Structure 1
Amino acid sequence: MTHTTETVVDRYIALIDRAVDEPAVLEELGSFFAADAIVQLEDFEPVTGLPAITEFYRRFYSNAGEGKHFWNTTVLDDGRLEVRFLVAGRTPDGQLTARSGIEHATVNTDGLITYLTAKAVALDV
């Protein structure tokens, strides 16, 4: 069963799970991110602005294999959203893969993500 709630981050993760099989869904990132948002995923360079974020995800998922996220979201006292996640999948060459990590998101008054960070570690599978 997929975990979903009503936060923008939960809806974003659910959309990202569809990106490998449905790359056109990445055009919907504007309903999750502010126009000037910043995304800093793991060791990648920060990406700023909706067009650059969309292109980053398009490149990232064009070479990804199957995957599925499972997560829990908490609203922190300072208003940020914290997501503890696990993603499991299969690479394009058939190898199993799994990662666990934490994302933090800052959301503006319009309910859009303005800053998203993620750190994860590979799990032995």
Structure 2
Amino acid sequence: MVEPAETVLDRYIGLSDRAVRESSALAELLGLFASDATVLIGPEPAHGKEAVTTFYRAHFAGIVESKHYWNTTVLEDGTVRAEWVCAARTTGNGLITVAGVEHATVDSDGLIQDLRNEFTRPPA
């Protein structure tokens, strides 16, 4: 059996669990985005390196630890799709579960140009 090649979306999701506690992993995760990338995970899109950085710093600030599981597919148009689930502990020692489907378009340098998420189980 041949293992599928790791995509940039696989690296992004894998790094997100470490990025909540390791600044080097957050820097590596942010390096996966093109300078003019757009991220639509929250209610408002973050566009450009500064806005994307601000979004992820705020997003990870409320989480102490997390664990993601996901399945990735590269669609015919080149879009990378990941169906994912996550369990996390928040800074207030709360527990959350969340799930969704992310779609990423990748530029010619292999960086994420556009990332959008649709929650199938929104954070409570």
TM above 0.5, yes or no, is: yes
> Once superposed, what is the RMSD of the aligned Cα atoms?
2.0
* Structure 1, unpaired ranges of 5+: none
Q: Which residue of 1 aligns with 2:33?
A: 33
Once the two structures are TM-superposed, the CA of residue 24 in structure 1 deviates from its matched residue by 3.7
Q: Which residue of 2 aligns with 1:9?
A: 9
Once the two structures are TM-superposed, the CA of residue 40 in structure 1 deviates from its matched residue by 0.3
Once the two structures are TM-superposed, the CA of residue 59 in structure 1 deviates from its matched residue by 1.4
Contact 1:35 1:49 in 2 (8 A): yes
Mapped partners of 1:29, 1:19: distance in 2: 7
Q: TM-score, normalised by structure 2?
A: 0.86
Q: TM-score, normalised by structure 1?
A: 0.85
Once the two structures are TM-superposed, the CA of residue 67 in structure 1 deviates from its matched residue by 0.9
1:9-31 CA-partner distances (Å, limit 9, x unpaired): 11111111111111343222453
Find the residue that maps to 1:78 and give its secondary structure.
coil
Q: Which residue of 1 aligns with 2:108?
A: 109
Cα separation, partners in 2 of 1:63 and 1:35, compared to 1, 3 Å: same
1:84-118 CA-partner distances (Å, limit 9, x unpaired): 00001222222221111100000111111100001
1:27-80 CA-partner distances (Å, limit 9, x unpaired): 22453111100000042x100111221121011111223211110100011110
Find the residue that maps to 2:58 and give its secondary structure.
helix
Counting matched residue pairs gives 120
Compare 33-42 and 19-28 and name the one that shifted more.
19-28
Contact 1:26 1:54 in 2 (8 A): no
**Residue type of the partner of 2:12?**
Y
Q: Which residue of 2 aligns with 1:67?
A: 66
Find the residue that maps to 2:63 and give its secondary structure.
coil
Mapped partners of 2:30, 2:96: distance in 1: 29
Contact 1:29 1:54 in 2 (8 A): no
